[in-house]
Homo-oligomer: A and B are copies of this chain.
């Protein structure tokens, strides 16, 4: 975290710090006594009430502390820099031995009530700091360095490849635009002092006031955040993809290994465990969207259930007694597939006659062969399914 001097310097330096010389403690004491006598801190500055007073603002971000998708809590540390002119606090430096500025406790002066309207816990205003630098022109410089906890509506559709827009929203309590006119000095958040966050990357920002339908000005600070994905790819996506990828290999396991059902249920349960892990991280929100990752996982679970059933069916086919004949339709499909494979294997059949003989004797497909065909069909189907869902997921969340 970098010091706050940037903001301080930008505004105060020309008028302050160079000439603070010859005056004494007594001068400053006399000055403050004079300024505060008759000062009513309940009334806003501005002698002529027909014009609004101007409040100049800028917002500097120091760090993003926390952004919990589950609760929507977004907390950051930042500094609001405000300045305005309070004519009641102006003086002639010549009268006070060239005292150009003085430090007065904030509790004695008028301050605008800036209220955060989207807080996480409690509605809070800007914290009353400790003291404030007032210059001889009546210019008040107020720095509110503070941790803000706001609610941020999250959209987890693309998690963990998501981008989020979070706002700090304020308005000036009790005063209308005809009373107080808020102006942002810069169109963006000041990031000179910002120290990088490990999870979120700031893509862009905006600070502006918005005149809404009721003719009031809202003070808005927007942050456009993009999640850094390498952690999630390493610890979430990769293990998940490799486990899901294993699912199809159950059909390559020899049927007599006696481990087919155990293997497929184990992989299925691993995916269910991943589903519960994802549930811990993501909100239960169905609005605006349920997470795509959740959908993928459910698809894998449903898919896994069908794999288990397919494995059971395959085992059942295999254990059919030989007496029972293979139905005609199945037989034909199996024969067609076998021939295709055979043809591939033997690219150059030696003589066509053996081919024919071979045709004849193969009319009787055994149940064992049917099971093998079924397994190979399921394996290929599953790998296609896996690649289609995985790649389509990655395409969807990255666009």
User: Is A316 interfacial (CB 8 A cutoff)?
Assistant: yes
A287 near B197 with CB under 8 A, answer yes
Tell me the minimal C-beta distance from A85 to chain B in angstroms. 13
User: Is A343 interfacial (CB 8 A cutoff)?
Assistant: no
A25-33, A330-338, A351-359, A383-391: which lies at the B interface?
Answer: A25-33
User: Is A162 interfacial (CB 8 A cutoff)?
Assistant: no
Interface size on A, residues (CB 8 A): 141
Residues of B contacting A301 with CB < 8 Å?
238-239, 242
User: Is A362 interfacial (CB 8 A cutoff)?
Assistant: no
Main secondary structure of the interface of A (DSSP, over half): mixed
User: Is A381 interfacial (CB 8 A cutoff)?
Assistant: no
B47 near A3 with CB under 8 A, answer no
- For A71, the closest partner residue in chain B by CB is B66
Q: A residues within 8 Å of B by Cβ?
A: 1-6, 8-9, 16-17, 20-29, 32, 40, 42-50, 62-63, 65-66, 71, 77, 88, 99, 103-105, 108, 113, 115, 117-123, 125, 127, 129-133, 145-147, 151, 153, 169, 171, 173-176, 178-179, 195-199, 212-216, 218, 228-232, 234-235, 238-239, 242-243, 245-246, 249, 252-254, 256-263, 265-267, 269-270, 272, 275-279, 283-288, 290, 294-295, 297-298, 301-302, 305, 308-309, 312-313, 315-316, 318-319
